[in-house]
Structure 1
Amino acid sequence: MATIRGASRSVAGKVRRAARGTRVPQVDVGDRAQRLFKMLVEHYLAEGGPVASKTLASSTDVAVSPATVRNIMADLEARGLVASPHTSAGKVPTHQGLRFFVDSLISVQPMDARSVGRLRGSLNPDMTPNQLVAAASQLLSQVTHMAGLVTVPRPEQVSLRQVEFLPLSGRRVLAILVVNEREVQNRVIHTDREYDETELNQSANYINREFAGRSLMAVRAGVLDSMQNDKDRLDSLMQTALDVASKTFTDEDAEDHDYVVTGESNLVDSLASVDDVRELFDAFTRKGAIVHLLDRCLETEGIQLFIGEESGYRPLDDYSLITARYEVSGEVAGVLGVIGPTRMAYEKVIPVVDVTARLLGSAIDYDHARPG
């Protein structure tokens, strides 16, 4: 299994590059204003609630009066970086301000070896890929206290090792697929006629001989190609095998971009309204829009960070989404990440997502490399 060294190197740079396409504020803020703004954001992320000017002025890191702080805050508010939730309250960073903070002021440090080791210990390479996906989702939720999401490996990463067909009552067949060396999938398929055990055994032998080792998507493509181009030359055995296989390896294999989510209840404690939380939970249940958003993240290397409205998905307007791709055998296999309140410790969460993606890919890759 690959060794993860310095697993969070240049993570901050990755966040900036991944932010392309979002409306990153172009601001020219002086050094003193930057220091005050950074203090305000850090205080807000740690404590929650508006930050008063006198709180910032009392810091030993700056030597300015409350009046000067108020003037600087007024300028930052005019630039869209801070806002006043109430007339008499202090300031809080806006989503635009948080983006500026992450892109320009955040300091993301690599995780220490002990922390990486604890993460690695939760992703046992002896588990199947689907078990590893579930474990990674649970791990992200436990470590960050947010909702952890992990997509299952893409279909081209799921290889057929062996298939077996068993007759059931009526015109039904149980297809038993062994994929990625150790994972077993059972599928009940409905056929146009009844097949006896001998026919199904011969069909399985043919499929295993012709297609073992290929991805499920490649198996389906090969089956359909043979049915269309070799129809006149197929004997009864091959015709039976391809008929059964065409119903076993369906186009759902190419479209199944499911994901596992864990820790949704952690979002109940966020500052979002009950209606917003309910809307997000409904989105988790429907999955479609979130899957589409996660698929977008497959296109960008490194850390992807969406703050509030940047995702373009209404249920996430009051949340942040941090994602990273994971790779298997040098190919992009899926994406993982966390959803949490916009008020999160970005400098701590980003390395966790980054390292977990590398460890998950490494653990699944170990399974792929294991001799059969």
Structure 2
Amino acid sequence: MVSDRGLEVLRVIVQDYVASREPVGSKSIVERHSFGVSAATIRNDMALLEDEELITAPHTSSGRIPTDKGYRVFVDQLVDLRPLTAAQRGAIEAFLGQSVDLDDVLARTVRLLSQLTHQVALVQYPSLTTARVRHVELVPLAETRLMTVFITDSGRVEQRVLDVASPMDDVLIGELRAKLNASIGGLGLQDAAAKLATFVEGFAPERHPVVQQIVASLSEQVLANKQDRLIMAGTANLARTEDDFSGSIFPVLEAIEEQVILLRLFGEMEIQPGGVLARIGRENAGYGLGETSVVTSGYSSSGGSMARLGVLGPTRMDYSNNMAAVRAVARYLSRLLGTE
């Protein structure tokens, strides 16, 4: 059983080690922190922490560093996250507020998160398994060229330019637009794809070739929107912390390049708007990320679907700052997308 003072000793060991990357000894704890006890008493506390496998000695006669279990206890003891500064909050609002669409806001989000935390930032597109078709727009660009615009209630907008086999007049385009929105508007993506499969049957046979081309393009857009996706930034930050990994960082780089791995990991982490979760070290070993920690929170899109954002880095990270940054950005992103 770890005493309250023991937990406080663990807290300063984590904080000092994260700040300096140097093992922490009892003498430096007494000199730098106001415990009001002797170095011998602190050494006894550290011995108990070591017995509980919360800290370990990387070398003989050295100071101590946190273990994965120690980081876990430290994170679980974080009652109040350190709030972001007014400047940081202002930067979030100013930078994300300039976004022009969902793709832009998510690209800005990962860049901002990587700057705030100095880690790899990850943002998942809003869950499209529950997304519904909001609107389909057809924009004529020339007699045989058309732009199809596919919009979901999650805020996703996808545009494609299509060259068709025969000229189209305004009457046909208007009819197509009206029938498409009447047929698939409000449907989930799976149902929309099924409707599009037989959509051409509602037109005269001579219209089938051009209608089929347009429907085929829209079907591809529907299928593209069904895929879970991640956007990332700040991978170079891993290179700056390469010494925090016992071996090569290449397996970590390979793992984060495989989006399916991170999507599976994200999928196992329960998300709640406003909440923050951390998976630390060996908790990620099954994904080839046993020397990394992942901090995540959830955000809501305009369609009410949930998605995750977070940061990935070495276990020696500033959990308090990173968790506060992830939470703040997630909350602002939810407000920006119109759900709070």
User: Which of residues 279, 285, 289 is equivalent to 1:316?
Assistant: 289
8 A contact 2:26–2:39 mirrored in 1 = yes
8 A contact 1:175–1:248 mirrored in 2 = no
CA deviations over 1:131-174 (Å, ceiling 9, x no partner): 10000000001111111111122324464422438899xxx997
Name 2:57's counterpart in structure 1.
84
Name 2:236's counterpart in structure 1.
265
CA deviations over 1:59-88 (Å, ceiling 9, x no partner): 552243333333322221111101111112
1:329 and 1:34, CA in 2 relative to 1: closer, same or farther beyond 3 A?
same
Letter in 1 for 2:265: L
- Range with greater deviation from structure 2 (283-292 or 212-221): 212-221
8 A contact 1:125–1:363 mirrored in 2 = no
More RCO (CA 8 Å, sep 6+)? 1
Matched, 1:179 2:138: no
**CA-CA distance at 1:52 after TM superposition:** 1.4
Letter in 1 for 2:159: Q
1:216 and 1:113, CA in 2 relative to 1: closer, same or farther beyond 3 A?
farther
Matched, 1:164 2:120: no
8 A contact 1:307–1:320 mirrored in 2 = yes
Instruction: Give the superposed CA RMSD.
Output: 3.5
- How far apart, CA to CA, are the structure 2 residues paired with 1:35 and 1:167? 67
CA deviations over 1:233-282 (Å, ceiling 9, x no partner): 85546976478525532463354111111110011111334854212222
Q: Which secondary structure does the structure 2 equivalent of 1:329 belong to?
A: coil
Name 1:134's counterpart in structure 2.
107
User: Which of residues 71, 81, 102 is equivalent to 1:108?
Assistant: 81
Under a length normalisation based on structure 2, what TM-score does the superposition of the two structures give?
0.81
Matched, 1:342 2:312: no
1:244 and 1:105, CA in 2 relative to 1: closer, same or farther beyond 3 A?
closer
8 A contact 1:157–1:328 mirrored in 2 = no
- How far apart, CA to CA, are the structure 1 residues paired with 2:157 and 2:45? 60
**CA-CA distance at 1:114 after TM superposition:** 4.6
8 A contact 2:120–2:235 mirrored in 1 = yes
Letter in 2 for 1:292: R
**CA-CA distance at 1:40 after TM superposition:** 1.6
Matched, 1:30 2:38: no
**CA-CA distance at 1:344 after TM superposition:** 1.7
**CA-CA distance at 1:54 after TM superposition:** 1.9
Alignment of 1:227-266 (within 5 A): 227=198, 234=202, 236=204, 241=211, 244-245=214-215, 248-250=218-220, 252-253=223-224, 255-266=226-237
User: Which of residues 258, 273, 282 is equivalent to 1:286?
Assistant: 258
**CA-CA distance at 1:327 after TM superposition:** 0.4
% identical aligned pairs:
26
Give the count of matched residue pairs. 329
Q: Which secondary structure does the structure 2 equivalent of 1:64 belong to?
A: coil
Matched, 1:43 2:19: no
CA deviations over 1:198-243 (Å, ceiling 9, x no partner): 697454442134334555455224335xx3xx99x85546976478
1:256 and 1:39, CA in 2 relative to 1: closer, same or farther beyond 3 A?
same
Structure 2's unaligned 5+ residue stretches are none
1:222 and 1:59, CA in 2 relative to 1: closer, same or farther beyond 3 A?
same
8 A contact 2:150–2:218 mirrored in 1 = no
Structure 1's unaligned 5+ residue stretches are 1-27
- How far apart, CA to CA, are the structure 1 residues paired with 2:147 and 2:234? 34
Letter in 1 for 2:327: D
